[in-house]
Structure 1
Amino acid sequence: VFTLRLIHIFAIHKQLGPKIIIVERMMKDVFFFLFFLSVWLVAYGVTTQALLHPHDGRLEWIFRRVLYRPYLQIFGQIPLDEIDEARVNCSLHPLLLDSSASCPNLYANW
């Protein structure tokens, strides 16, 4: 509340007023961009999760792969441990699936 009042007070100021209006309009554009970025990230994450790990039903792993992996891939961090199929330590057995990672679908891998 205090910050909003302070912004309104500075909006009258001769030098800070135009800058505050510019920042306010810029924040609207930033939130608009972040909304579309989040829609794209979730769509990409769901698609890659469905293609690479179709049999994995653990919710915490699904949410991690759907949200966290696409966010890191924006910055260039590619999960190299899943690209090399010879080094993947995984299991498709339902009893062992809780303790180890699920095997990625090799036909949909990159």
Structure 2
Amino acid sequence: MARITYIEHNGTRHEVEVKPGMTVMEGARDNGIPGIDADCGGACACSTCHVYVAPEWIDRLPPRDPMEEDMLDFAYEPDPVRSRLTCQLKVTPELDGLVVQMPERQI
């Protein structure tokens, strides 16, 4: 299991355990974390699972693929460095301690 901390825009923190092999989006969905809508169910087709990754995690995550880059263009206030789609982040033991923050609102 990996501990993932989801921070709502208002600062409310949710630390949950997520099984390896799931995505960070599935971890939020399965644990009732508000603010990550995942309207497309994880198909990288909507950007409603957009988050900002804590700065210390940017270089520890796999790079964004072209499909994720394209969908981030539709995200609310994307950050060129910190923005990620949680449906594209597979949980591994190396992600233990990951911290993500939701933007003010999703589109």
- Coarse TM-score class (shorter-chain normalised): under 0.3
Q: Normalized per residue, which structure has more helix?
A: 1
Q: Which has the larger radius of gyration?
A: 1
Q: TM-score, normalised by structure 2?
A: 0.22
Q: Structure 1 length as normaliser, TM-score?
A: 0.21
Whose relative contact order is higher, 1 or 2, with alpha carbons under 8 Å and at least 6 apart? 2
| Higher share in strand | 2
